[in-house]
Structure 1
Amino acid sequence: MARTAIVAITKHGIDIARKIKARMPEVEIYVPAKHSDGGTDINWFSDQSTQLVGSLFKTHDALVCIFSLGAVIRMVAPHLVDKKSDPAVVVIDDRANHVISALSGHLGGANALARLLASILGAAPVITTAADVNETIAVDLVGREYGWTIENFENVTRTSALMVNEERIAVYQDAGEKGWWHEPLPKNVEMVGSLEKVLSPEFKAGLVITDRVVPADVAAKSVVYRPKTLVVGIGLHFDTDSNTIESGVTDVFAQNGLALFSIRNVASVNRGARVKGLDEFAQKHGLAVEIFEKAELAKVEVPNPSAAVQKFEGTASVSEAASLLSSNGELVVQKVKFPPNLTVAVCRVKS
């Protein structure tokens, strides 16, 4: 859950902060100790406000300041890094007339937070990001609610500028959720049926949504989104190390033109205890591990059952069966063996 801090420095500000907390009890309120009324719902601080705001900026996901925008800018300026890591900053005036999205409007969620707080306070939200005011596609947010990631973030700024200036943009999608944008698309945006079409001179840029490797010339012109559509099934021994798994999975994905960024999770068999190598591989890549009992795997029909695996594991398949069970989808890479102790299979999640 996102950590949100509210800083108020006046008595009016305290009232506004408490009104917000009544609807959002998880928020933390900070007020100078000189205004203390003994309330336990507030953190009464004795430090300088500048020092406190700097500290909260580094430790919280969102910061709401109930004082002037200029003062907030001066306080947070020394701590700014980039829009991928800076927290959302929202500013509210002392009479709660306006709620301003001041920093990290898209990626940080300040725009959404400003609208929420404005609805609570009966105030006017102030949103200045071009994609929002023009009601067009926010390039840096496509698929975010589904967990999609951007592979080449360096193309976002240029493509966003083209989008808000209503230049022609191509969208190609062959994987992932379809509901990322309401219909119809903006008038300057067209869905195309091939990656080659993205390269057409009629389009100034592209949005490419796929779990497959994208040709370099298409990627250079586009923002490439990676939906979480692939599940990797892994058969292994207790002593299979993370480097072996890394090498095997990387090889399978390279040989089959698949994107590692699109892995949703890995799946394997319950060996009675955690397998260190599998856990280390998953932790390195921020992936969940789904474990199935042998009896569950034994019920799954697979294209490559193994008598040897059946004899030693009690199921004729681990990698294929685990990936099929976890994804509820279809195999896109059948079992690949890496002797002596690793097998890898890949399924695409049913959309």
Structure 2
Amino acid sequence: MDKVSVLAITKNGIKIGIELKKYFPNWKIFAPSKFSDNNKEIIWYSDSTTEKIVELFKNNNAIICLFSLGAVIRLIAPYLKDKKTDPAVIVIDDKTSFVISVLSGHLGGANELTQIIAQKLNATPVITTAADVNKTIAVDLVGRELGWKIEDDSTVTKISAFMVNEEKIGIFQDAGKRNWIKEFPKNVKIYQSLEEMEKSDSKGFLIISDKVLEGDFLKNSVVYRPPSLVVGIGLHWDTSKENIKEGLDFCLQKFKLSKKSISKLVSIKKPEDVKGLVDIGKEMRITVEYVNREDLADVATPNPSDTVKAFEGTASVSEAAAIKVSGGKLIVEKQKFPPNLTIAIARIID
């Protein structure tokens, strides 16, 4: 985890901070200047601890506090916003008996970091998050390490409650990596189709898909978008960002695919980058990748073009690029848009 700071306000806490520094050399250790012994491993501060923790809270991914839990809560309480933005906060007692996950346990990574620190210090980790305690699925973390995005997080709390209370949960997946969990809890059932899942007596659903979905079941679902789609684009040097955006939106809407599942935009390598493609990649925050014409020429596609071959040295750009980079299956064949744009989409097969 990047940007981790340790805050010690007692002499014994400073010793613990120095011990942590041995295991985590990139962490910054802060302590009041009144305890200074000129140890250069410590950042000695002269302002109040109340002021210092505000600064650390704003500028770190995690804060390790080496003093009492009650004092920590009183110090951070005025600055809490939400679990998506608050840093992880961990408390370690003065005798290193316990390492306590206090804030942002799941999304902020406090639970995982608590386990790591406790192991290093031979301490007892204290984690109270229900999903961890009950050894069940943490709904808000499913697929996070795989780059999955939650379509709408407004249902996460409700489905999380169903999960930890061992209500029946249905799972349907038609895209993305399959081995995202070692073992499913006993209250979870896997369904092979949405229709089968809808007719079940499951109370909530986890759906992993790159397709646009409709239905009342979504009210009780968390939908995850894996980065499973590769968009192949054939274009000229002057094709605009607006032209590409219109064509892509048309394809996604026509074939009912989610924009959040686009992994890459790919095209043939040209002497100069096409500004429109670069710009749309930046706007959508999606990686743009280029493939050499020689590599595209060897890819079998359903809609080769002699005209494209004459200009580009390969009979296909959009379809071939999508297939080549995804290593998967073409699900949207070449779509043409005036004046000089083609788009094809392939699905990565995991």
TM-score tier (shorter): over 0.9
| Cα drift, residue 40 of structure 1 | 2.3
Residue in 1 aligned with 2:113? 113
Question: Which letter does structure 2 place at the counterpart of 1:103?
Answer: L
| Cα drift, residue 199 of structure 1 | 2.5
Counterparts of 1:245 and 1:48 in 2: how far apart (Å)? 54
What's the CA shift string for 1:112-165, capped at 9, x where partnerless?
Answer: 000001011111100000011011111101111111111010000000011111
Counterparts of 2:198 and 2:51 in 1: how far apart (Å)? 50
Write out aligned runs for 1:309-320 (5 A).
309-320=308-319
Give 3-state SS (helix, strand or coil) of 1:108's partner: coil
Give 3-state SS (helix, strand or coil) of 1:64's partner: strand
Give 3-state SS (helix, strand or coil) of 2:238's partner: coil
| Cα drift, residue 168 of structure 1 | 0.8
Write out aligned runs for 1:154-303 (5 A).
154-183=154-183, 185-200=184-199, 202-303=201-302
Work out whether residues 173 and 210 of structure 1, in 8 Å CA contact, stay in contact via their aligned partners in 2: yes
Counterparts of 1:60 and 1:256 in 2: how far apart (Å)? 42
In terms of mean alpha carbon deviation, does 135-144 or 52-61 score higher?
52-61
Residue in 1 aligned with 2:84? 84
Give 3-state SS (helix, strand or coil) of 1:2's partner: coil
Work out whether residues 210 and 228 of structure 2, in 8 Å CA contact, stay in contact via their aligned partners in 1: yes
Give 3-state SS (helix, strand or coil) of 1:22's partner: helix
Work out whether residues 230 and 346 of structure 1, in 8 Å CA contact, stay in contact via their aligned partners in 2: yes
Work out whether residues 199 and 221 of structure 1, in 8 Å CA contact, stay in contact via their aligned partners in 2: no
| Runs of 5+ unmatched residues, structure 2 | none
Counterparts of 2:34 and 2:276 in 1: how far apart (Å)? 55
Question: Which letter does structure 1 place at the counterpart of 2:119?
Answer: S
Work out whether residues 195 and 218 of structure 1, in 8 Å CA contact, stay in contact via their aligned partners in 2: no
Give 3-state SS (helix, strand or coil) of 2:29's partner: strand
What's the CA shift string for 1:158-183, capped at 9, x where partnerless?
Answer: 00011111111111111111111112
| Cα drift, residue 192 of structure 1 | 1.2
What's the CA shift string for 1:27-79, capped at 9, x where partnerless?
Answer: 12111222222222222222221222112212211111111112211222222
Counterparts of 1:214 and 1:95 in 2: how far apart (Å)? 53
| Cα drift, residue 201 of structure 1 | 5.8
Counterparts of 1:272 and 1:19 in 2: how far apart (Å)? 54
| Runs of 5+ unmatched residues, structure 1 | none
Give 3-state SS (helix, strand or coil) of 1:55's partner: helix
Counterparts of 2:190 and 2:305 in 1: how far apart (Å)? 44
In terms of mean alpha carbon deviation, does 70-79 or 326-335 score higher?
70-79
Counterparts of 1:229 and 1:148 in 2: how far apart (Å)? 9
Question: Which letter does structure 2 place at the counterpart of 1:206?
Answer: F
Counterparts of 2:127 and 2:344 in 1: how far apart (Å)? 46
Question: Which letter does structure 1 place at the counterpart of 2:234?
Answer: G
Counterparts of 1:70 and 1:243 in 2: how far apart (Å)? 54
Work out whether residues 2 and 61 of structure 1, in 8 Å CA contact, stay in contact via their aligned partners in 2: yes
Give 3-state SS (helix, strand or coil) of 2:202's partner: coil
| Cα drift, residue 338 of structure 1 | 0.8
Question: Which letter does structure 1 place at the counterpart of 2:289?
Answer: E
Residue in 2 aligned with 1:66? 66
Counterparts of 1:34 and 1:293 in 2: how far apart (Å)? 63
| Count of paired positions | 350
CA RMSD in angstroms comes to 1.4
Work out whether residues 176 and 349 of structure 2, in 8 Å CA contact, stay in contact via their aligned partners in 1: no
What's the CA shift string for 1:203-232, capped at 9, x where partnerless?
Answer: 111001111111132222200011111111
| Cα drift, residue 255 of structure 1 | 0.7
| 2:303 is equivalent to residue 331 of structure 1 | no
Residues 71/331 of structure 1: CA separation in 2 closer, same or farther (3 Å cut)? same
Work out whether residues 155 and 222 of structure 1, in 8 Å CA contact, stay in contact via their aligned partners in 2: yes
Residue in 1 aligned with 2:347? 348
Counterparts of 1:337 and 1:194 in 2: how far apart (Å)? 32
Residue in 1 aligned with 2:42? 42
Residue in 1 aligned with 2:304? 305
In terms of mean alpha carbon deviation, does 200-209 or 166-175 score higher?
200-209
Work out whether residues 198 and 205 of structure 1, in 8 Å CA contact, stay in contact via their aligned partners in 2: no
Give 3-state SS (helix, strand or coil) of 2:31's partner: strand
